Structure 1
Amino acid sequence: MNSFTVFGPALLLWSCHCQTSLPNVTEDFEATDYYSTEPDYTQFETVCGKDLNRSFRARFIPTIYSLICLLALMGNFLVILTYIHFNRIKTMTDIFLLNLAVADLLFALSLPFWATSIMTKWPLGELLCKAMYGIYKITFFSGMFLLTCISVDRYFSITKAVSAHRCRNNAAYYGRVSSLVTWGLAVLFSLPEIIYSNVNSNSTCVAYSNENDYLRVSLLISQMVLGFVMPALVMMFCYSGIIRTLMQARNFERNKALKVIFAVVAVFVISQLPYNVVMGLSTNNTTRCDFDNSLLFAMDVTQGIAFLRCCVNPFLYAFIGVKFRNDLLKLMTALGCRSHSPILYSGKRKSSAGLTDTDTTSFSP
């Protein structure tokens, strides 16, 4: 008799007893530790809702863009018509102002397409999508560069009046060359926007893919540097020199000219600074949903304010000049839009810097 014959039945009975007496560990774990506790959702990413942003944009952007488009078309069309009708393209500032009016007019014509792209899905194809972004960028950069050119021209006309008067015969040539260079640089700096803009899978016209965050940040930074920081630095230098020169003058014209300068600088800062600050904040990646939504609201509002420049420019840089204002009144009289009345100003008049009004349009109120 071997050992298995002796101990085998005893081991079998012991194992059966253990299986019936031990608790069901698996069932108890499933009942207590899995089904009775709620899962922890904090470790999962949540989608940031943009319904309020979409609702706000659908109401705000078409309204403000339509208003800007209407005012800009009227103002800049009158500027272009007045320059062409009276053949006022004689000085560098005249050429810059005419090009600025053309840039603002083209920019205004693109705004209805922007409003359409916000309200509905883009139905016009990729070519017109690229054209919309291309026109926007080209006119944006050209407008900023032309404002810079106007500042430089006024700086030399007032602070270097004698030298500027000697170059008066070649001023128109220099103005045309500078304008061509300005438009060429605007097209060059707008190429990335034209290349990367497309219609995405949601049938929306976008400037760049949402997945390419490096491209988005690069385009925003280039726009801020080339379209705001550099023009602002040049304008600050030029207008500070102009103010120093005007402060030495002791006549009533000085006060009028200073008011115009402050108005020009104030409009530029108020319209462009908030938009560029918001763009700078948008270059930082954030996971905070409330901050992201607030940034989108701020971007829409400040962008609308920045776009107002295209309908304010005619009043600041053209209509405010006495000679241009009188030419505009003559044109409206010739078109039958107003009755005949005495002209407010005729002949030449000395400006605050000693130049006649036919020499430059700078700051003659």
Structure 2
Amino acid sequence: MTAAGDFKSLVPTVLMWLIHFKSCLSEDGGNTTLADESDYSMTTSMDYEDFPELCVKELNRKFRLWFFPAFFSIICLFGLAGNLMVILTVFYFKRLKTMTDVYLLNLSFADLLFALSLPFWAANSMAEWKLGLLMCKAMHTIYKVSFYSSMFLLSFISIDRYFAISKAISAHRHRSETVLFSKVSSAVIWGMALIFSIPEMVYTNNTNNTCTPFSSSKDDIRISIQSTQIALAFVLPLLVMGFCYTCIIKTLCHARSFERNKAVKVILAVVAVFLVSQVPYNMVLFWTTVATARGGFQNCTYENNLLYATDVTQCVAFLRCCLNPFVYAFIGVKFRNDLLKLLKDFGCMSQERFYRYTCGRRRSSGAYNTETSTTFSP
């Protein structure tokens, strides 16, 4: 009975302690919850104000959906036609007698490869990449190999023209050795282009269903690749071509020949095509690289405008693959006559029209209508 009495007297005491503990817990918990909610609301408000807005590029994507396929189709069509004609003409008439012939053949192969890669670029800009990682890497590698080899070959063509015209005596003395040198140097050019394309092989990936070597707009890889491209594929060829063609024009200006003005016009056309096609794109690419190195863009409108400029100037730069055959090959007398004869032999031109185009324009072009001056023969 004593134990039962003690238990009955203990129950009210325990209940009182439980009620007191619950009330304390509710008060503390309520206060803590209010404080936490207040801190959370302040933190959330401050985070949203400081967080940068996402730059919407939907209009640029819609622009690319029609712009890239249209221009890439035109460039691909004319690039294939022009470069295939050069290749067929060279092999049909076995025209590998000079350094220029060898370089023109390699330039046509490089531009042909570049033109063949354009449909894949158009597909990548229109929809998600569905061709796998191997084709993704192959597309970027072929593009960069053909791009670097084209720029290096244009530089070597200008060097060849410099020695053939400005140093004509020494060039004629070593004429038998130049063809072998051109073949070896062409192989070295392709090897160098392949080496400089290694970053595309390594870093290109199918990220977010898009084939690209860049992971973001602030990627260090993007800065390195674009800086190398500007230095090796624009600044270096520009300096070489500028020096060589300036010396050639000076030499032609001292020559007394009625063909001099025509040769100068051809050189100016070559330089103009290079400047018009390459300068705008490389200026935009340079500014994009600088902005990327500084941490990206702060103004969304400015970033979108720069994207439009990049797309347009890039397509203009791509035009070189269909303009090179006409500027460097068909503008010369010998190459143009060989092309007309090829069209006649294949039944694409009548005999009368062939003689009208060849015999009617055949003139003596003096010192500039030689085997070593194919490119600048008017």
User: TM-score of the superposition, structure 1-length normalised?
Assistant: 0.87
Select the residue among 168, 193, 204 that pairs with 1:161. 168
Contact 1:138–1:187 (Cα < 8 Å) also in 2? yes
- Residue of 242, 249, 255 corresponding to 1:243: 249
Q: Is the 8 A contact 1:348 1:358 kept in 2?
A: no
Q: What amino acid is the match of 1:121?
A: E
Q: Does structure 1 retain, via aligned residues, the 8 Å contact 2:280–2:313? A: yes
Change (3 A) 1:58 1:164: same
8 Å contact 1:161–1:355 — kept in the other structure? Answer: no
Contact 1:152 1:235 in 2 (8 A): yes
Gaps of 5+ in 1: 1-28
User: For the residues of structure 2 that align with 1:131 and 1:223, how far apart are their CA atoms?
Assistant: 18
CA gap of 1:212–1:193, structure 2 versus 1, over 3 A, is farther
The one-letter amino acid paired with 2:213 is A
The one-letter amino acid of 1:231's match is P
How does 1:1-365 map onto structure 2 within 5 Å?
41-200=48-207, 202-210=208-216, 213-283=219-289, 284=291, 285-341=296-352, 342=355, 344=358, 349-351=364-366, 354-365=367-378
Distance 1:191 1:349 in 2: 48
Say if 2:365 and 2:377, in contact at 8 Å, map to a contact too: no
Partner of 2:32: none
> AA paired with 1:304?
C
Question: What is the CA RMSD across the aligned residues, in angstroms?
Answer: 2.5
**Count of matched residue pairs:** 336
Larger CA deviation: 224-233 vs 169-178: 169-178
Q: Which runs of 5+ in 2 are unaligned?
A: 1-34
Counterpart-to-counterpart distance in 1, 2:157 and 2:217: 40
Farther-moved stretch of structure 1 (210-219 vs 188-197): 210-219
- The list of structure 1 runs, each at least 4 consecutive aligned residues, that deviate by more than 4 angstroms after superposition, is 345-351
- Take 2:68 and 2:370, find their aligned partners in 1: how far apart are those partners? 40
* TM-score (norm. length: structure 2): 0.84
Distance 1:358 1:290 in 2: 55
- 1:287, distance to aligned residue in structure 2 (A): 1.2
For 1:100 and 1:211, locate their aligned partners in 2 and report how far apart those are by CA, in whole Å. 33
Q: Is the 8 A contact 1:133 1:197 kept in 2?
A: yes
Q: What secondary structure is seen at the aligned counterpart in 2 of 1:205?
A: strand
Please state how far the C-alpha of 1:355 moved relative to its aligned partner: 4.9
Structure 1 residues 107-148: Cα deviation after superposition (integer angstroms, max 9, x where no partner): 000000000111111111100100000000000000000000
Q: Identify the residue that residue 4 of structure 2 maps to in structure 1.
A: none
Residues of 2 paired with 1:106 and 1:100: CA distance? 10
Shift in Å at residue 165 of structure 1?
0.4
Which amino acid is the alignment partner of residue 248 of structure 1? H
CA contact (8 A) 2:140 2:204 kept: yes
CA contact (8 A) 1:105 1:310 kept: yes
Once residues 365 and 49 of structure 2 are traced to their aligned partners in structure 1, the CA distance between those partners, rounded to angstroms, is 73
Conservation of the 8 A alpha-carbon contact between 1:272 and 1:306? yes
Structure 2 distance, partners of 1:70, 1:260, is 25
